[in-house]
Amino acid sequence: MMADVQFKPFSITGNPSGGNSLVITSLTNLKKIFGDAVTTMNSGAVVMNGDGGATDAHFQNATWQNNRLYATFSLSMNKNIRVTGLIYYAPGTVLDNGTF
């Protein structure tokens, strides 16, 4: 079943403007990549600090808010950062009420 999960690598840069998160992508964009069955319940991201030399912030996780997928990190920053990782889509055949 795990073979059905789809992953796509990404790398983005941006300035969180004093915040502690950065938009990775939107639900609309993920639907273009993986298809119309993508929802905020069956997709997400694995994130990491793409440039520890630029900031020592710990990149904590990814979270959905208002149909946008955000990378979250431990510090508020006001400089360009790079987030790298994998976006994923796990179709309904893989997820069944949170169990595999």
Q: pLDDT by residue (tens digit) across 1-28? A: 455 899 999 999 999 999 999 999 999 9
The pair of structure tokens assigned to 30 is: 């993920």
- According to DSSP, the β-strands at 19-26 and 43-49 are unpaired
Which one, of 48, 28, 44, 27, lies nearest residue 89 by Cα?
A: 44
pLDDT at 96 over 70: no
Q: pLDDT by residue (tens digit) across 23-55? A: 999 999 999 999 999 999 999 999 998 777 777
pLDDT at 97 over 70: no
Side-chain half-sphere of 22: how many Cα atoms within 13 Å? Answer: 28
Q: Of 69 and 54, which is predicted with more confidence?
A: 69
pLDDT value of position 22: 94
The strand order across the sheet containing 19-26 reads 19-26, 68-77, 59-65
SS3 state at 78 = coil
pLDDT value of position 54: 74
